[in-house]
Amino acid sequence: MVVFWSVFLTVIFRLEKRMVNPYGELEAAPYFGDPTGYGARWVAEAVQAGFVMLGWARDVRGGMYRQSYALLVSAERDIFAVIGVGTLVKIPVQVTWLHTPAMDGRSFFSTDNQTGVQIDLSRNWTNQLAFERSFATLLLKHRDWLQSLAVLPRPFTPGREFAEFRALRVEHFRSMERAGLIRFTDASASHFYYTLSGAAKTAVWGYFLGMARKLSFGKFPRTA
């Protein structure tokens, strides 16, 4: 079973063409709706926690990706929140990411759903999975985690938060390219494929990481 899933995921990772920035232009409401109400609840909690709502961005990948993302920034401008809702192959999507870039060029994010984990073996991005049922508790876990790692946040610039978040993603994938994990399809670095070795390493590590976190309810390993 382990071999089957490792090989299967390696093939999927190797063949799928992926987009660096799937976020469209900002809109006033989720383009594909919010079927579970998750987005409305978590956005309200984020605003109550002092986050500023920038707007909603639709997923521009199209096809099976009928998703919208609420984009918010903390009052201290050290956290960029992405709250995703909609459907993926008709399966409801409800996942949140809290991103904090560090002064040393790395970036750290917490997510409340296994589907939100993005493995980066170049170590430019580091993640925490916390199965929390509210934005407030996920935020608390994120800040505690950053403190435990002695992360020195690099604040977002007022008025440029979305642009800087896009740039953060570009640097993330540039780091993966330098590590030989992916290759871009063109000079604009807007799309990429995993290399064979990158796909295999990411698939195997992702499989065992997911199993360990599932069995430990996200507690082990806390940082990946």
Q: What DSSP string runs through 107-118?
A: EEEEESSGGG--
Q: Is the pLDDT of residue 68 over 80?
A: yes
- 155 part of a folded domain: yes
- 134 part of a folded domain: yes
User: What is the average pLDDT score of the chain?
Assistant: 96
135/112 Cα distance (integer angstroms): 9
Q: Is the pLDDT of residue 69 over 80?
A: yes
Query: What's the chain's length in residues?
Result: 224
Strand ranges, E, within the chain: 18-19, 23-27, 52-59, 65-73, 80-88, 91-101, 107-111, 125-129, 182-184, 191-194
Q: Which of 85, 59, 88, 53 is nearest to 71 (CA)?
A: 53
Helix ranges (DSSP H) in 36-160 = 38-48, 135-148
- 16 part of a folded domain: yes
210/216 Cα distance (integer angstroms): 10
Q: Which of 202, 219, 195 is nearest to 141 (CA)?
A: 219
- 220 part of a folded domain: no
Query: 3 or 113, which is more confident?
Result: 113
- 11 part of a folded domain: yes
pTM (2 decimals)? 0.96
Query: 23 or 90, which is more confident?
Result: 23
- At 132-162, the pLDDT tens digits run 999 999 999 999 999 999 999 999 999 999 9
Phi and psi at residue 221, to the nearest 5°? -80, 140
Question: Residue holding tokens 């063409």?
Answer: 17
Query: 89 or 134, which is more confident?
Result: 134
Residue 1: its pLDDT value, please? 78
The fraction of the chain above a pLDDT of 90, given in percent, is: 91
Q: How many domains are contained in the chain?
A: 1
- 88: domain range? 2-215
- 135 part of a folded domain: yes
Cβ distance 145 to 128 under 8 Å?
yes
